[in-house]
A and B are shown apart, each in its own frame.
Chain A
């Protein structure tokens, strides 16, 4: 149980285009999902907290107009990188908190590697 999937697993796009990444909780419901960014050989940095049915909460320094988050259902959150540039190239990881699970336990997706040319 407690499986989180991400799609796509990798994407290459041209500078200036937008890319959408999906995060799904497959066997549980998640009112809260999280989006992280991981640079090579660095830690995961929380970008935003995605709440079902309401606006996402962004961490300081994260541009909300650039990283659009939508959490339309209890099992799906999407991150759209708008007008992507090479500096947006990174590994994006989502996690989800199980409504019926242990307090504060998050389950992680496999990540999406974005390369912007």
Chain B
């Protein structure tokens, strides 16, 4: 069965630090990949997505992610985080169906 792993459960950073959140999935076929963010008290929002093409995907708010097929990874990055990036981040995968399989999430805390 398909699964998604996010190894960083809780990340604490100072403002301006660089961020990389890991995401690995277990499926050998064609997949669509997503990163969602959930700010405190708010609903899930799409940060970025990869369907095909350039494996380096740019999303909103300065986030980007790189799809590395050989490593089954889709890590999220941001060169300089802000306090407002404090949120829960979820990686998700689907295999050309409607079903999204979510990772367990990474809680990011950014301190000024």
Seen from chain A, the residues whose Cβ lies within 8 Å of a Cβ on chain B are 4, 32, 34, 41-46, 49, 93, 95, 97, 102-111
A110 touches B43 (CB 8 A): yes
A109 CA to B104 CA, complexed, in Å: 19
Q: A-B contact count, CB below 8 Å?
A: 50
The reply to whether the CB of B51 lies closer than 8 angstroms to some CB of chain A is yes
What A residues does B98 contact at CB under 8 A? Answer: 32, 34, 49, 97, 104, 106
B32 touches A44 (CB 8 A): no
A97 CA to B103 CA, complexed, in Å: 20
A49-B99, A104-B32, A104-B94 as given contacts; A43 in contact with B104, CB under 8 Å: yes
What B residues does A4 contact at CB under 8 A? Answer: 43
Seen from chain B, the residues whose Cβ lies within 8 Å of a Cβ on chain A are 4, 32, 36, 42-46, 49, 51, 90, 94, 96-105
What A residues does B101 contact at CB under 8 A? Answer: 46
> Which residue in chain B gives the minimum CB-CB distance to A60?
B1
A43-B105, A49-B98, A49-B99 as given contacts; A103 in contact with B51, CB under 8 Å: yes
What B residues does A105 contact at CB under 8 A? Answer: 46, 49
A42 CA to B100 CA, complexed, in Å: 15
What B residues does A43 contact at CB under 8 A? Answer: 4, 90, 102-105
Min Cβ gap B60→A in Å is: 14
Min Cβ gap B102→A in Å is: 4
What A residues does B103 contact at CB under 8 A? Answer: 43
What A residues does B105 contact at CB under 8 A? Answer: 41-43
A97 CA to B32 CA, complexed, in Å: 15
